[in-house]
Amino acid sequence: MGKITGFLEYEREDSPEVSPKERICNFNEFHHYKNEEERRTQAARCMECGVPFCQSAMVLKGMVVGCPLHNLIPEWNDAIYLGHDKHALKRLLKTNPFPEFTGRVCPALCEKACICGMNDAPVTIKENELYIIEQAFANDSMQPRTSETKSGKKVAVVGSGPSGLAAADTLNRRGHSVTVYERDDNIGGLLMYGIPNMKLEKDIVLRRRKLMEEEGVVFKTGCNVGENVDANELIDEYDAVVLCCGAKKARALTAPGMEGTKGISYAVDFLGRVTKELTGKGISHELETQVKDKHVVVVGGGDTGNDCIGTVIRLGCASVTALEMMPKPPVERRADNPWPEWPKTLRTDYGHDEASALFGKDPRVFETTVKEVIASKGKIKELKTVKCGFKEGKLVETEGSEQIIKCDLLLIAAGFVGAEDYLPKALKLELTQRNTVKTVADTGYATGKEKVFTAGDMHRGQSLVVWAIAEGKACAREVDAYLMGYTNL
């Protein structure tokens, strides 16, 4: 422990952000990261406690706190403080293959479990993690790493989201020959076409692709296994196949007036389209006119709903309203929700701050849902909303609470209901009640079909990037044991 009294001497200081009204003028990342000296001061706040809950991934009352990757957080915080950045990098990469992703988009389960957070602000673990990996890229410490021994085994990974990348990276380092099949025009899955640029600029994903290719991983884009690539031929060609296709079947919104009405889109499709245009020739006139000076309503909270808010603001919307069915959480922890449980408190994200700065109020309307879509000449014009609550697990409307609000564009960010089924059908794989691919063991990754494994959201359902990475790594261990008869991963 480099600074024994650091947590007593220093206060938490987050990296400053570009002001909301300034940053909405572009899609760039908007944090000004602290310099080396300031980062070492923040790392000094780590208590290096005897029982580091931050790296535990404990389940308390059905919710996980602490890092699912079991990152060695006290170790690399100590190394940052002492100026041993290369050692910090080694300890970080031991558990996390892609800190540049989690350091940007993870909700920091680790910080919610930080012991400093009992009576004070937690350590800036997420920013410290990002500092380590970005310093490493800046000083050329991130060089290609390849296995000296090749196994002679070939593995196909279908899907290049975080779970697919983690599985491919782990198996490649083990010495297997790995080919990744991606149906889109670029790798990354939701990292590329689901998470907006202001949270994760796409050159970060492309930088990782370049490094993995230098390490021997082969990427084949535009290859939709189950459609333009025969899934069974893939099984014949490879010694193992890992399915990491996500859980992209969006939850539908069922309200009268929706069918056939223009101006309604699933959030993930909308966000993907915006990113594709930004990485191509720029925002098209068609997309601009769809949003600019229009009244936008987002149905659903969470990260995706917030990303929609930030995106439509940057595209010049006239207003944005976010409807959430659940009650508004408390600002502070309740007595029945003590540390280190996951804090069930109100989370205000960047999009909410931007909407407040631009329109003068928080865009969220709680305990409210869509009762009816009102169209004119086949295009959405208004929504009839209604207050709602839950009684005995069922959604109940509040009588007489209906309101009419303007809506030119409706974005549905109500979550996902499982994996798309065309590939499981092609391989005759069984699905669970949650529309995820069923595995032989609940905690395993082998499907009922020989050679075929699954990981990530396709296996566990919609979740976080950090969980997808953890799943990809764990699946790779199981695949390695299947191929070699043992595993040293």
Residues 326 and 388 in one domain: yes
Torsion of CA 141, 142, 147, 153, to 10 degrees: 180
Total domain count, the chain: 3
Do 279 and 202 meet the contact criterion of CB atoms below 8 Å apart? yes
In 314-420 the beta strands, taken as DSSP E runs, fall at 319-324, 364-366, 368-376, 379-391, 394-397, 403-406, 409-412
Choose one of 387, 412, 437: the last residue of a domain.
412
Alpha helices in 315-428 (DSSP H): 350-359, 422-426
Residues 121 and 85 in one domain: yes
Domain span at residue 56 reads 6-138
Q: Report, as an integer, the average pLDDT of 148-172.
A: 97
The DSSP result for 428-466, as a single string, is: T--B-TTSSB--SSTT--B-SSTTEEE-THHHH-S--HH
d(CA 314, CA 335): 39
Instruction: Please choose, from the candidates 199, 221, 210, the residue with its C-alpha nearest in 3D space to the C-alpha of residue 275.
Output: 199
User: Which CATH number characterizes residue 130's domain?
Assistant: 1.10.1060.10
Residues 371 and 426 in one domain: no
Residues 34 and 113 in one domain: yes
In a domain, 1, yes or no: no
d(CA 376, CA 315): 24
Do 424 and 436 meet the contact criterion of CB atoms below 8 Å apart? no
In a domain, 47, yes or no: yes
Residues 198 and 236 in one domain: yes
User: Which CATH number characterizes residue 176's domain?
Assistant: 3.50.50.60
Residues 447 and 355 in one domain: no
Choose one of 377, 412, 447: the last residue of a domain.
412
Q: What is the mean pLDDT of the chain?
A: 95
Do 229 and 307 meet the contact criterion of CB atoms below 8 Å apart? no
pLDDT recorded at residue 50: 86
Choose one of 71, 105, 138: the last residue of a domain.
138
d(CA 171, CA 177): 8
In a domain, 147, yes or no: no
Residues 107 and 12 in one domain: yes
Burial class of residue 233 in the structure, from the number of CB atoms within 10 Å of its CB (0-12 exposed, 13-18 middle, 19+ buried): exposed
pLDDT recorded at residue 1: 64
In a domain, 144, yes or no: no
d(CA 278, CA 325): 32
In a domain, 259, yes or no: no
Question: Which pLDDT band, with edges at 50, 70 and 90, does 3 fall under?
Answer: confident
pLDDT per residue as tens digits for the range 414-465? 999 999 999 999 999 999 999 999 999 877 999 999 999 999 999 999 999 9
pLDDT per residue as tens digits for the range 289-302? 999 999 999 999 89
pLDDT recorded at residue 99: 98
Residues 119 and 240 in one domain: no
Residues 242 and 271 in one domain: no
Residues 270 and 408 in one domain: yes
Residue 108 has pLDDT above 80, yes or no: yes
Letter for the amino acid at 268? V
Handedness of CA 231, 232, 233, 237 (dihedral sign): positive
Residues 333 and 439 in one domain: no
HSE (CB half, 13 Å, CA atoms) of 410?
A: 31
3-state secondary structure of 145: coil
pLDDT per residue as tens digits for the range 239-280? 999 999 999 999 999 899 999 999 999 999 999 999 999 999
pTM: 0.96
Residues 346 and 479 in one domain: no
